Structure formats: structure tokens, C-alpha cells
Chain A
Amino acid sequence: MEIIYVYTRKRSEFGRPCSFSDRPATVNVDIPPDPSMASNFVLRNPVDSSVQHTSDISAHEVNTERVEVESRGVNHVEGGWPKDINPQEMEQTIRFRKKVEKDENYINTIMHLGTLMEHCVKQNNAINIYEEYFGEEDTAEVEDEPPSAKTINVISKLTSFFDVLLSKRDPNVTKRTATHLSWHPDTCRKLAVAYSSLEFQQNTKDMSFDSYIWDLENSNKPELVLKPSSPLVSLEYNPKDSHVLVGGCYNGQMAYWDTRKGGLPVEVSTVELSHRDPVYGAIWLQSKTGTECFSASTDGQVLWWDIRKLSEPTESLVLDITRKGLLENALGAISLEFEPTMPTKFMVGTEQGIIIACNRKAKTPPEKITSTYSSHIGPVYALARNPFYPKVFLSVGDWTARIWSEETKESPIMWTKCHLSYLTDGCWSTVRPSVFFTTRSDGTLDVWDFLFKQNNPSLSLKVCNEPLSSLRLQDNGCIIGCGSKLGTVTLLEISSGLCTLQRNEKTLATAMFERETKREKILEARHREMRLKERARSEGQGTEVEETLLEDPQEVLDRARREFFEVIEAEMQRRTRAEARGLLSKVPGMAWTCTCSRDPPLPRGRGQGSVSAFQVKDHMADEVAMQEEESQLPKDKEEEEEEEKG
């Protein structure tokens, strides 16, 4: 039996907005029970039916809070004495001891143990079984294993720990970038990390300003918390005194800490005389007192400080490449480089992609800037000198890393290919002269060995998913720490093949750098010559123009018309010649010499020499076009070309 209710609607009413109305309930169908149908059914008693009973179980996951384990030592103080004896009283203890010594058991035991002990003592005196037996084996095998690196530790900022301490804060502690890493100079077991948020004006109110010093043994809790008044962008240990650190703040101030005195800075520089922008580079200087440092920031200044008196900088330099010392023209500095072996020179990498080499000891401020290298398209994020060859330095910025030699200022001597992501930091290896490391903004760490392979990194490791912002190699060259945008610091140990000096490496690296430098010098010389020629030619034309300016307007008009027609004629001639050339032969060089033989030989105004012949060979298309428009051709060039072809 079906129950059907029919609902009709006119086609023309489709799509009309519904208008709802209320009406009381109406019964559509009413089916009363029909007792006569009961006869169709038979009552059945008993009936089998199954029932299942299970207890209600629910699955639940519980994650316990991380257990905080702290190592503590307990010093054993006198104990174990029987109740009636006071350990402080000498008499009682002596009496007790005497009593023990009278015990028979004691005597037997000691006799037995005594013989045993004597045996061992004599053994020790007779021969030293732990001496070095195989010390002379030579360990000069070639490392055949592929380069690899192993993560040894990941330090991430604890959020839950700080919840407990600072209960007023937001449960989600904002993640800050690890902007700078500095290893402890002596032990290399401690790492100082500066945390700050480098996004413009992204500082939320609950972001903590602290930076930490981590001990590698205990990566759960920082060893020391540094509390500046504004987040630290850069942080450095003093290489001479390992308790002192200097930090550059986000608001431009400089602060220094003494780890023996706790987490608050010992002294902070005054706001008026500090930088106006975050201090991106802060490095200690070599000085007798060991208290001098200098800092650079994007406000265009480089300031020198003595930490004993941080109220004002001792010296300052404005990074103005026009050498006028104007702050408006200054370039913002993003990285700073200083090599202790060359104490008067330092380099600054700017936001505009120019590297400025400066000399601190110059007499006048404009002379302080010795030279500039226009290197990258974007900010130069890292600058590092090769510890073995101080004239060679590495600059990291935009999508490439480039190696420069101080002598060639126009272009780098070597460079890596363009990557898909920005390069954020780089440094040389302290043990191998041709190895350097770079980090990228897709979270990859690249290890380059330029003697082995130049077009690809020797080892490319994906460290994390967020961009890596800073990189630092430990002094022994084996452990490298990289900080990421979310504040995680990862420590990696690289395989020994990449951190032990190979046999001829130093000589090979020297040879490579010299070769590249020489190549660049030759290129530079050639470019300079070409430019000189261009200039000479344009100057020649310039003098003609000057003369014609003295004519009066009518003559100018006539001359212009004449020249116009000449140009058109020349163009038409060139076209006919081009057609002819196409018919004549396929070798453009030969055709060129053939066509040139038609032109009248003209006076040799140009500089001669093999260099210009090379130029002509290289830039043949340009030269041909230029030649035919100007129709200048010394004859001996023709002959040279023919000689070379022949």
C-alpha cells in the first residue's frame, strides 16, 4: 500500500520566490487499525533472539607533558653510623672503629682482600697493559666516502617552559627568527643565538626580547637568557674574553653582557648616539684591550665603540660612495666583515648590492672608502674572507654566491649558478680553503667544494621547511649551526671528508684562485680598452658637432637634409651589398673581406694591434654594421683576417 501525496506547481511559477505561510496541521492520510488482519499472524512463544552486551570502550590518546630532567649532584655527608653514635664526636667514632677492628671477621676479610689487592698493585707496577701498541700506523688514506652530514642536535625554543614562567603571556609564543649565531671561542660547546623578528613592524606585544646561550649538552633549556631592552639582531662572543658578548639591537643600540653577571646587559649605548636602524653587523676588533668593537646598520653608518664606555661611539663613518659623507646618500649596511689578520681594513655589504671596502686608518673620512664592488642585485647578506687567502672573499646575496678577489673590482672571479631561492648566508670552511657553505631561503644548506665541482654544490641538505636565516661554522670546521626563520637552530656534523685538509689542496686552491684572478684581469683590461676606444670615437664625433653649432639655422637645415639623404643612400647600398653577400659565400668572415675590398682604403685612424683584431673577430656582427655605416676600414685588418682564415 503506497501513501502518496501529490504536490503540483504551475510551470510558469517555477523560480518564483517562495512565500511561506503558516497554517494549522491537517491530516493527510488516516489509516485506522484493521483487526481482521490479525488473523494472518500466529502468536509465537517463546521467541529466540540474540542479545550482545559489551562494555562501552572508548579509545583516548594522552600525551604527557615533557618531563623536565635536571642533573644535580648530591654530596655524601657522613652517614651510616649506628643510631647511638654521634658522628661529630671523635671519641665515639674512634671507639666504634676500634671495636670493629677487633672483630675476627674483619681480620680474616682484610687478610684475604689484602693479598688480592697486593697482587693487582704489583701487576700495575710491573706492566702497563693499556699502553699504545699500534700508534705508528699511518692514517693517510684517501677519503672515499661520499660527503654527508648528520644532524646532531636541534635546539628549538621551548614554548611550554615559558608558559609556566610567564603566565601572563599568550600561550602561543610568537616564533622569532634566529638571526645570528656565535660559537663560544674556547670550548665550542656553547652557542649564543640572537632572536628577533626581522619583518618590518611585526613585533607583537607578547614577543619576548630574549636571546639565549645554549649549552650543547642540554638542549632543552638555555644555559643563560640574555634580556636586552630590544630584540637582538646580532650577537658575538669576544674572541679574547669568552665571558663577554656584544649585541646589536633592533632599535639600533649596542649592548654588552658578561655571562658571569647574569642576563641583563652590563651597559647599553645611549639611544641618541646609536644607530637609527637595526644593527645588522657587530664584530669585535683586534685591540690590546680587547674591548673594541664596531657595528654597521642600514641607516648607513659604521660606528666604532669601546665597550668600557658605551655612551658614545669613538668613531663613525658614513657609507656614502660619492665620498662626500652625506647621510642622505648613504647606503644601508647589511653585513660586516673583518679579518683579524688585516686590522685596518674591513668590508661592508650594503642593501643596494654594493660591497664597500674601507680602510680605517685613512686620514680623511672620504678616503676611508677605498673601493666599491657592485656585486649583487639585492642586499649582500654575507661577506666572508677566505681564512687561507685573505685577498679572496665570498659574498652572498640575491640568488648566487660570488667569490671575489680584491684586485679585480669589476666582476667576481668565480660564481655559483643562480638558484631558485634566495641565498641568505654563507661562510668559508676554517680547515679547507676551497670549501664554503651557503644557506637558502627554502631551508637548504649547501656545501660547495670549488676544487671538486663548480656547477653544483658537493652536498645539498634540506634542513627544514622554513627559510634558513643564519649560518656559523665552529672553529674546528666539523660542526655547523644554522638558524631558521621560526627560531630553530640545527647543528650538523659534516663528514670528515669535507673537513680534513686533503693532500695537495692548498697548492691546488692557490693555483685555482690565481688562475681565475688572472682571467678576470685580462677581461678587465680588454673591457677597459674597448671603453677607451668608444670614448675616443665618441669624442671625435663630439668635436664635429661642436663646430657645426656655429652655423646659422638655414645652413643647419641644408646640412641636415644632406645628411639625411646620405644616410638613406648608405642604407640602400648596405642592403644591396647584403643581398650580394648572401649570394657570394656563406662564411661571413670571407664575405666581409670580399665586400670590404670594394670600399676604398681609408686612413688608419684606429689603434692597431692583435687586441683589436680579436675584438673584431668576437663582435663581428657589430663591427660589420658599424663598418658599413661609417665605411672605415684599414687595409691591414683585411689582410690579417685573410691570414687567419687561411
Chain B
Amino acid sequence: AEVEETLKRIQAHKGVMATMVINAEGIPVRTTLDNSTTVQYAGLLHQLTVKARSTVRDLDPQNDLTFLRIRSKKHEIMIAPDKEYLLIVIQNPCE
């Protein structure tokens, strides 16, 4: 219930195009996009997150990845990683 509320709140912010929750195996648990796109995002971003995390840890073993932002020409992809799940939000920043 709170989960629903949180996700709805995030989705309601200005510029947010899509929200997704992905589990550690790449299965989309919760998504606002269609399935094929979600699956594509899931596979690619999961690998990227793992790579980013391992990079951060390699550079400093005490460190850990907290947030990942990919800014592209069209929009910004924000990934909040966790041990088991990934929260992905695609936003179009207002410029």
C-alpha cells in the first residue's frame, strides 16, 4: 500500500516518463511501460548497474554505489540500486 503510494508519487512528478521496479534476475516486478521495452531496459540496465557497482568497489573497497544517472540527449535515466531490486525512473528534465 505504501509502496503503491510512493511509486504513484514519483510517477506524478513533472517530467517523469516511466517508472520500473526490477528484481535481481531481471524480471520486471512493476512497470508503467509495455512489456518488451521494460524487458529491454531491464536486461541492459541491470548489467550496467552491476558493472558500475563493481567499478566503484574496485576503486575503493569501502565504497559502494548509491545512485546512477545516465543523461542522454532525449532524457535522463535514473537508477537506484539495491541488493535485490532496482528502481528505474526515466525523466525528461525541463530545460
Contact = CB atoms under 8 A, between A and B. Distances in A.
A101 B13 contact: no
A112 B82 contact: yes
A221 B76 CA distance: 36
B42 to A, nearest CB: 7
Interface stretch (A31-39, A122-130, A424-432, A617-625): A122-130
**Residue among A77, A96, A109, A122 with the most chain B CB within 10 A?**
A109
A124 to B, nearest CB: 4
A61 interface: no
A614 interface: no
Contacts of B87: 110, 113-114, 117
B3 A106 contact: yes
A118 B13 contact: yes
Given A80-B27, A121-B10, A109 B85 contact: yes
A101 B10 contact: no
Contacts of B27: 80-81, 96
A47 interface: no
Contacts of A137: none
A105 B6 CA distance: 16
Interface of B, helix, strand, loop or mixed by DSSP: mixed
B9 A118 contact: yes
Given A105-B84, A110-B7, A120 B78 contact: yes
Given A76-B39, A79-B26, A113-B80, A121 B91 contact: yes
A110 B93 contact: no
Given A106-B85, A110-B6, A114-B87, A125 B30 contact: no
A566 to B, nearest CB: 96
B23 A131 contact: no
A461 interface: no
A97 B29 contact: yes
**Residue among A77, A109, A113, A128 with the most chain B CB within 10 A?**
A113
A644 interface: no
A122 B13 contact: yes
A109 B30 CA distance: 14
A253 B6 CA distance: 72
Interface in B30-57: 30, 35, 39-40, 42-44
A75 interface: yes
Contacts of A80: 25-27
Given A109-B85, A110-B87, A113-B87, A125 B94 contact: yes
A117 B29 CA distance: 17
**Residue among A101, A118, A121 with the most chain B CB within 10 A?**
A121
B80 A117 contact: yes
A72 B90 CA distance: 26
Nearest to B38: A78
Nearest to A122: B13
A142 interface: no
Given A120-B69, A121-B91, A124-B91, A76 B43 contact: yes
A572 interface: no
Contacts of B66: 116
Interface string B56-85: 000000000011010100001010101011
Interface of A, helix, strand, loop or mixed by DSSP: helix
Contacts of B16: 121
Contacts of A76: 26, 39-40, 42-44
A117 B2 contact: no
B13 A121 contact: yes
Contacts of A96: 27
Contacts of A107: 2-3
Contact of B85 (A97, A113, A124, A130): A113
A59 interface: no
Contacts of B40: 75-76
B95 A131 contact: yes
Given A76-B42, A110-B6, A100 B71 contact: no
A530 B9 CA distance: 96
Given A76-B42, A100-B23, A121-B89, A110 B95 contact: no
Interface string A79-90: 111100000000
A161 to B, nearest CB: 32
A117 B10 contact: yes
B36 to A, nearest CB: 9
A268 B73 CA distance: 45
Contacts of B29: 97, 100-101, 106
B78 A121 contact: yes
A130 B16 CA distance: 18
Contact of A116 (B35, B39, B67, B91): B67
A110 B87 CA distance: 8
Contacts of A131: 95
**Residue among A75, A96, A124, A131 with the most chain B CB within 10 A?**
A124
Contacts of B2: 107, 111
Nearest to A78: B39
Nearest to A74: B43
B90 to A, nearest CB: 11
Contacts of B15: 121, 124-125
Contacts of A114: 3, 6-7, 9-10, 87
Interface in A45-101: 75-82, 96-97, 100-101
Given A116-B66, A117-B80, A125 B6 contact: no
B39 A77 contact: yes
B30 A97 contact: yes
Contacts of B13: 118, 121-122, 125
Contacts of A105: 84
Contacts of A79: 26, 43
**Residue among A78, A96, A101, A107 with the most chain B CB within 10 A?**
A78
Contact of A101 (B3, B35, B94, B95): B3
Nearest to A117: B80
**Top 6 A-B residue pairs of the complex, sorted by shortest distance between their CB atoms:** A76-B43, A80-B25, A114-B6, A80-B26, A113-B80, A113-B87
23 contacts: A76-B26, A76-B42, A79-B26, A80-B27, A81-B25, A97-B29, A101-B3, A101-B29, A105-B84, A106-B84, A109-B84, A110-B85, A111-B6, A113-B82, A114-B7, A118-B13, A121-B10, A121-B89, A124-B93, A125-B14, A125-B93, A125-B94, A128-B94
Given A109-B82, A110-B85, A121-B13, 10 more contacts: A76-B26, A76-B40, A106-B84, A107-B3, A109-B85, A113-B85, A114-B3, A117-B78, A120-B69, A121-B89
